[in-house]
Amino acid sequence: MKSTLLTLSLFSPLFGSMAAGAENPGNDKQQAPERPNVILIYADDLGYGDLACYGARGIRTPHVDRLAAEGIRFTNTHAVAATSTPSRYSLLTGEYAWRRPGTDVAAGNAGMIISPYQYTLADAFQHAGYTTAAFGKWHLGLGEKSGTQDWNAPLCATPADLGFDHHYIMAATADRVPCVFIEDGCVANYDASAPIEVSYRKNFPGEPTGRDNPELLYNLKPSHGHDQSIVNGISRIGYMKGGGRALWKDENIADSITAHAVDFIRAHSHEPFFIYFATNDVHVPRFPHPRFRGQSSMGLRGDAIVQFDWSVGQIMQTLEELGLADNTLIILSSDNGPVVDDGYLDQAEELLGEHRPAGPFRGNKYSAYEGGTAVPAIVRWPARIRSGQESDVLMSQIDWMASLVTLIGARLPQGSAPDSHDCLKNLLGEDQTDRPWVIEQSSNHVLSVRTPEWKYIEPNDGSPMITWGPKIETGNNPVPQLYDMKKDINEQDNLATQHPDIVFQLETILRKVRAGKLNP
């Protein structure tokens, strides 16, 4: 599908003009300009307004701010969906998650959601000669079939089947069992004396739960949900037994993920690498390491943002030590908008003060409003990108797969990444042409069409507020909604009845995209 967009070869002018960054003994830089390493830093639930360089006060994020200052800070980028699994699915496959059943927020024992037969972003890098790795939050299922995994043996379907040479990941989220890292298909630090069992249906006899044993919740208590198995003094979603020494301690998750990524960079500093660095921060349970406690003015949620910033700083420091910082393309973004109370009594709401996690946008994670999918996006690559840029170009993460494929001179197999469109020049700050429209998916599958001027939200008769916990506007409305994004970025004034022609145009776009009959 993308064949016309993907004809760049390694010898195209793109590479000819590229300044080589790293010292690589034995290579003649003049003759063989090096391809950049690529690191995709994908934060969890980090809002548009959560970074100092996007206007946050009360949180210092110097490492992320530095990336922005030395590259491009994008102000109109969208995650594909307002929750994790569909955003990640779309990012890694270039296909809208809403085309595929089974791509909603995955349980910790979900089977692998991306089929090994699908072509992924990691496959493209691998085929282009890159060494590839995934670190941190996975949330795209593991093993062949939901609920059938044997966590005490090698898993049969893993990121290794999707183009990642190496992985060190959490199966789902920190608030879902199993609370262990999976490294190259096996539980890391496996403890044979404590075999692991996982169920999302019923508890294991004799195992405590948050609901029945609140006295065991010495680290965090739930505000809603999250009252099943207890690990590290925090109750989770789902039941698990065993794990022993392999169980994570939430306060060490950022350290573990970061250390593994740093080690990988060191081990592969002499070959091109692609890293999907998906942090657990700032998802719940927010339980940062003690050294980050009190570093923000807003308690655990703010401190988790500081911890995220620290991880970014560690990656940068490593690249610099190895002479790789110039010729590494870093893309930093988030999987969906922010959420304040997402199920634990972490005082995120009480200590929020003036901070606005979604910046100027209405709604949060889960919403059809912009706050659900408007995310920070920063790109840094000194060998190619001029520093100090800001871009309000309209962009969607759905396009990053085709764009990065172009960057590395690779070619997509026909039919793969069907919804991904090459916007490499946007990403590199060389073209400011907006995507004509971006499709956004809310947590209850309401689709919206965002153009540079307008936002259309399709009608839905679901509740206007989330009913099961977080105090968040869903954006649901039984009538069509149309907002003027140039004048009303906070989506207050529904103009649908005043502009039926525009509503019709945007509905038509949505209908055609749904039918797979319209590409940008």
The residues of the shown chain that bind ligand NG6, judged by CB under 6 A, are 44-45, 83-84, 105, 139, 173, 175, 224-226, 237, 283-284, 336, 342-343, 469
Residue 49 Cβ, how far from ligand NG6 at the closest point, in Å?
Answer: 17
Q: What is the DSSP letter of 229?
A: B
Inter-residue contact 201 to 136 (CB < 8 Å): no
- Decide whether 127 or 221 has the Cβ nearer to ligand NG6: 221
By CB under 5 A, the residues from 378 to 407 that bind Ca ion are none
- Cβ(440)–Cβ(448) below 8 Å: yes
Of the two residues 88 and 450, which places its CB atom closer to ligand NG6 in the complex?
A: 88
- Asked if 79 and 87 touch (Cβ cutoff 8 Å), the reply is yes
Q: CA-CA distance, 200 to 203, in Å (whole number)?
A: 8
**Kind plus residue range of the DSSP H or E element containing 305:** helix 299-321
Selection from ligand NG6, Ca ion, none that 139 binds (CB < 5 to 8 A by kind) is: ligand NG6
Footprint on residues 42-71 left by Ca ion (CB under 5 A): 44-45
Cα Rg of the chain (Å, integer): 22
Comparing CB distances to ligand NG6, the nearer of 171 and 449 is 171
Q: Return the exposure string of 157-180: e unless at least 16 CB atoms fall within 10 Å of the residue's CB, then b.
A: bbbbbbbbbbbbbbbbbbbbbbbb
Place of tokens 């949505």: 510
Cβ count within 10 A of residue 264: 21
Matching residue, tokens 């050294």: 291
216, 236 contact by CB (below 8 A): no
Given the complex with ligand NG6, which of 170 and 196 has the nearer CB atom?
170
Q: Which does 408 bind (CB under 5 to 8 A by kind): Ca ion, ligand NG6, none?
A: none
333 vs 406 by CB, closer to ligand NG6: 333
Task: Answer whether 410's CB lies under 8 Å from 99's CB.
Answer: no
CB of 104 to ligand NG6, least distance (A): 9
33 or 86: CB nearest ligand NG6: 86
Q: Distance between CA 156 and CA 164 in Å, rounded?
A: 14
CA distances from 38 to 109, 277, 330, 346, 362 (A): 30, 10, 6, 35, 32
173 binds, among Ca ion, ligand NG6, none (CB under 5 to 8 A by kind): ligand NG6
Within residues 303-362, the interface with Ca ion by CB under 5 A covers 335-336
* Residue closer to ligand NG6, measured from CB, 78 or 384: 78
Q: Which does 73 bind (CB under 5 to 8 A by kind): Ca ion, ligand NG6, none?
A: none
**φ/ψ (deg, to 5) at 257:** -60, -45
Q: Which residue from 75, 84, 103, 314 is in contact with Ca ion, where contact means CB under 5 A?
A: 84
Closest distance between ligand NG6 and the C-beta of residue 107, in Å? 10
CB of 45 to Ca ion, least distance (A): 4
Please report whether residue 104 would count as binding Ca ion according to CB under 5 A.
Answer: no
Strand partners, 133: 166, 275
Binds 224, which of ligand NG6, Ca ion, none (CB < 5 to 8 A, cut-off by type)? ligand NG6
Minimum distance of ligand NG6 from residue 180's CB (angstroms): 17
Phi, psi of 427 (to 5 degrees): -65, -30
Query: If contact means CB under 5 to 8 A according to the sort of partner, which of ligand NG6, Ca ion, none does residue 452 touch?
Result: none
Closer residue to ligand NG6, CB minimum distance, 212 or 326: 212
- For Ca ion, the binding residues (CB under 5 A) are 44-45, 84, 335-336
